[in-house]
Structure 1
């Protein structure tokens, strides 16, 4: 597989959607991560909530 699903965050750490990272053509087992992305999938947010990454874990917060 030459791509990997990663999860895009906004500047406040809120989940905004999925995107892909590409495998590095120069290094084995290294992925070229788009800026603001992480590999840990967010939880499903119920109505009125948003998922926010705090740097270590996902939090569910009220949507603004």
Structure 2
């Protein structure tokens, strides 16, 4: 089994109703997809995320086996 990483938006505090999730080969790819999702679905600008927010979001990226 190959390793990958996942992120589910519903795991983020305040986003429990959002069904979006991503799985990718690398954490970097997951971050890019998270940022795109935040822009498109939640009208957020990831450039505005402070270090505390980024640190919190990084804890929501989980290793998975595919």
**TM-score band, normalised by shorter chain:** under 0.3
Larger radius of gyration: 1
Structure 1 or 2: larger strand share?
Answer: 1
Normalized against structure 2, the TM-score is what?
0.27
Q: Which structure dedicates a bigger proportion of its chain to helix?
A: 2
What's the TM-score, normalizing by structure 1?
0.27
